[in-house]
């Protein structure tokens, strides 16, 4: 690698060659700040702002008629956005719905698909899952009178950061009824081979679903082609849907007709919903897995946000994302080798998600020092720093500046001004 690779001039040249560079102007970016926390909460785009305002105005102008009139009738909005998002997960339009949240959707899917029978009465997860998934699985087991200590099997990590797919497959015993795994591990950014794991689960007559929170909008998926049974996700990270944005779920069409475990009014077939019958006539597609009234104002920003993903193309977004994170790894290796940082995410392009995960004993203090330098990182207890250069609005020059700032923080010991303790929201 030539020394020119590590210069700001080289970073700026990469930005000039970037075919997605124009999308940066679509976002509200605070002046003199570098935002590298898009894997926790994506930035607001001008299109998302406009579609939210447009939806607000439809309420103002149409009142209750907004359910069936206007540019985006509310009654059909969850289905319409599901169709719009379907290419990002590789699902058919009627297999994807915009509804609920990560946790409520997981509860719905487990309530629907976990049917313990005889000795096939356990759920397989992993040691590194985001806590909300584990809490939901424990709750579902308890509701069935099963002990999470014995009926929730968690695959161990060999190093505390990544999972070995062979270990996951080995744990697919005849006692496992359902498997819930992350598509991308939230800490290390490791991508699991969803296709392989689905094939192995189905060989053993086990249903399998994936938490796509850290992969949706950052990598391509082919859920239908891989024959994944179901998936769920949030839309406020890489998809930039806003804080508390409505989530999404996918159900493979071969499961259509299944009675939802947690039924509600919006589980109904659209043409029967207002019959007000106490006997549910469930939708004959993924819509059956909705529950309550859609959160219209919370889903509205996604209308504008998803337009950009359709235009840019998820393959192009993934290509730039890999270039950004790959460039950052090169700079970290070159500039930070003397400062005890450990790279804990995969280096291989096929296995690396959309963020970099660094470990350091002083991680909390370093994150505070980064913020003092107008760089927004993400701290993960006890000693992790997540840095997410997002394809649609971050630049190679910003990657260069973040690494140089990290070097200065360590060299000048700026981090010692701060307590090595996380805030309430890390």
Give the residue from 276, 311, 346 where a domain finishes: 311
Domain containing residue 161: CATH number = 3.40.640.10
Which structural domain range is residue 394 located in? 3-32+313-410
CA distance 285 to 272: 14
Return the pLDDT at 425.
Answer: 66
51 carries a ligand binding annotation: no
Query: Side-chain half-sphere of 58: how many Cα atoms within 13 Å?
Result: 21
130 is in an annotated binding site: yes
pLDDT along the chain (426 residues), means of 10: 89 98 98 97 98 98 97 97 98 98 98 97 98 98 98 97 98 98 98 98 98 98 98 98 97 97 96 94 97 96 98 98 98 97 97 98 97 97 96 98 98 94 70
**Integer CA distances (angstroms), 185 to 119, 211, 228, 249, 271, in order:** 30, 9, 18, 18, 40
Question: 309 labelled as ligand-binding?
Answer: no
Host H or E run for residue 342 = strand 342-343
* 271 is known to lie in a ligand binding site: no
The reply to whether 281 sits in an annotated binding site is: no
Residue 45 has a pLDDT of: 98
Q: Do 162 and 295 belong together in one domain?
A: yes
Question: Is 211 a known ligand-binding residue?
Answer: yes
Q: Which two tokens stand for residue 273?
A: 């919903």
Would residue 343 count as lying in a domain? yes
Answer for the pair 155, 124: CB distance below 8 angstroms, yes or no.
yes
**Are 145 and 251 contained in the same domain?**
yes
Annotated binding residue at 236?
A: yes
Same-domain status, 11 and 110: no
167 is in an annotated binding site: no
**Count of the separate structural domains present in the chain:** 2
Give me the pLDDT at residue 426, please: 65
Say whether 293 counts as a known binding-site residue: yes
Q: Is 395 part of any known ligand binding site?
A: no
Same domain, residue pair 228 and 244: yes
Same domain membership, residue 188 and residue 229: yes
How high is the pLDDT of residue 230? 98
Asked whether residue 133 is marked as a ligand-binding residue, the answer is yes
45 part of a folded domain? no
**Are both 212 and 158 inside the same structural domain?**
yes
Same domain, 252 and 373: no
Assess whether 277 and 179 both reside in one domain: yes
Confidence at residue 229, expressed as pLDDT on a 0 to 100 scale? 98
DSSP 161-225: S---HHHHHHT--TTEEEEEEESB-TTT-BBP-HHHHHHHHHHTT-EEEEE-TTTTTTS---HHH
């Amino acid at each position: 690698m030539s020394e020119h690779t590590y210069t700001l001039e080289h970073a700026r040249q990469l930005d000039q060659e970037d075919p997605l560079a124009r999308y940066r102007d679509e976002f509200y970016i605070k002046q003199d700040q570098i935002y590298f926390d898009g894997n926790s909460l994506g930035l607001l785009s001008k299109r998302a702002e406009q579609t939210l305002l447009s939806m607000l105005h439809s309420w103002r102008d149409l009142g209750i008629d907004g359910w069936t009139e206007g540019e985006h009738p509310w009654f059909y909005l969850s289905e319409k956005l599901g169709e719009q998002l379907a290419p990002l997960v590789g699902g058919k339009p009627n297999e994807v719905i915009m509804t609920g949240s990560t946790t409520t959707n997981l509860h719905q899917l487990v309530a629907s698909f976990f049917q313990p029978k005889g000795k096939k009465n356990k759920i397989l997860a992993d040691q590194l899952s985001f806590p909300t998934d584990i809490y939901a699985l424990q709750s579902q087991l308890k509701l069935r009178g099963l002990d999470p200590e014995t009926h929730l099997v968690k695959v161990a990590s060999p190093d505390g950061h990544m999972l070995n797919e062979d270990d996951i497959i080995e744990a697919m015993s005849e006692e496992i009824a359902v498997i819930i795994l992350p598509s991308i591990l939230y800490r290390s950014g490791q991508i699991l081979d969803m296709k392989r794991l689905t094939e192995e689960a189905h060989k053993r007559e086990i249903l399998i679903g994936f938490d796509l929170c850290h992969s949706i909008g950052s990598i391509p998926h082919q859920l239908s082609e891989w024959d994944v049974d179901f998936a769920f996700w949030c839309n406020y990270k890489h998809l930039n849907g806003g804080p508390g944005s409505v989530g999404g779920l996918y159900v493979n069409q071969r499961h259509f007709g299944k009675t939802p475990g947690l039924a509600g009014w919006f589980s109904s077939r659209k043409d029967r919903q207002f019959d007000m019958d106490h006997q549910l006539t469930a939708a004959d597609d993924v819509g059956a897995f909705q529950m309550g009234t859609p959160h219209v104002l919370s889903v509205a920003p996604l209308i504008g946000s998803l337009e950009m993903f359709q235009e840019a193309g998820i393959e192009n977004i993934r290509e730039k994302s890999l270039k950004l994170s790959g460039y950052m790894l090169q700079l970290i290796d070159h500039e930070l080798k003397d400062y005890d940082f450990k790279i804990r995410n995969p280096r291989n392009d096929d296995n690396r998600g959309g963020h970099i995960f660094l470990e350091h004993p002083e991680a909390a203090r370093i994150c505070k020092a980064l913020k003092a330098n107008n760089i927004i990182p993400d701290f993960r207890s006890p000693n992790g720093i997540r840095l997410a250069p997002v394809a649609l609005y971050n630049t190679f020059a910003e990657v260069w500046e973040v690494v140089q700032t990290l070097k200065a923080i360590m060299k000048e010991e700026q981090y010692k001004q701060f307590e090595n303790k996380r805030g309430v929201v890390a």
